Chain A
Amino acid sequence: SQTIHQWPATLVQPVGSPLSLECTVEGTSNPNLYWYRQAAGRGLQLLFYSVGIGQISSEVPQNLSASRPQDRQFILSSKKLLLSDSGFYLCAASKGGQPYEQYFGPGTRLTVT
């Protein structure tokens, strides 16, 4: 099975500072990769997904961007954080032929002050 690693676990950043959250996957090659934001009462909001290196699809226009420099590495970034970027960010992966079964990472709690 797949194992998803995310870091850092928690992060406190000032408004206007840059962001880089990293996600790596073990146990499978060429996975589909996803970034979600989980907000209380609003469920999981899909931010980005990727079906291959360098291929990023954006679901929600916002202050964030994603990149996939390697097959099993997915990075969520921002040049200048906003207060509204605070939240819990989840990375997930699925096998190419089974996109419905997603394996989730432990998440990163981001607080923008």
Chain B
Amino acid sequence: AQRVTQPEKLLSVFKGAPVELKCNYSYSGSPELFWYVQYSRQRLQLLLRHISRESIKGFTADLNKGETSFHLKKPFAQEEDSAMYYCALRMDSSYKLIFGSGTRLLVRP
């Protein structure tokens, strides 16, 4: 069955340290992968999608089909990056997204 796995429930780093939020998926077709973010007291929102290959707020994510991964990275974490991050998978021509269980990122001063 299609699945998105985020192995870390909590990731704590110091300001300025590199960050990598892990995401692995299982899907035999052509996946579209996304990262969503929820800041404190804000709504869940789209952060980035693999197709656009862009950097948002310093974050990047590369789809690795060989390892079926879509890890989110940032070279220097900032305190304002503290939030809940969800990885999501869209299957071929589907209207729905499959979300992972989320990782809480805590950036300490």
Chain A interface residues toward B at CB < 8 A:
4, 32, 34, 36, 41-46, 49, 51, 59, 90, 92, 94, 99-106
Residue of A nearest to B101 (CB): A43
Q: Is B46 within 8 A of A101, CB to CB?
A: yes
The answer to whether residues A90 and B44 also contact, given A51-B95, A99-B94, A100-B34 and a CB cut-off of 8 A, is yes
The listed residue (B43, B90, B101) touching A106 by CB distance below 8 A is: B43
Q: How far is the CA of A68 from the CA of B98 in the complex (A)?
A: 22
Contact with A along B86-100 (1 / 0, CB 8 A): 101010001111111
The answer to whether residues A100 and B44 also contact, given A41-B9, A46-B96, A46-B98 and a CB cut-off of 8 A, is no
Residue of A nearest to B93 (CB): A99
Instruction: Say yes or no for B81: interface residue by CB 8 A criterion.
Output: no
Q: How far is the CA of A49 from the CA of B100 in the complex (A)?
A: 18
Q: Is A44 within 8 A of B9, CB to CB?
A: no
Q: How far is the CA of A105 from the CA of B94 in the complex (A)?
A: 21
27 A-B pairs within 8 Å (CB atoms) are namely: A34-B96, A36-B99, A41-B9, A41-B101, A43-B6, A43-B86, A43-B99, A43-B101, A44-B102, A46-B97, A46-B98, A46-B99, A49-B95, A49-B96, A51-B95, A92-B44, A99-B90, A99-B94, A99-B95, A99-B96, A100-B34, A100-B46, A100-B49, A100-B90, A100-B97, A102-B46, A104-B43
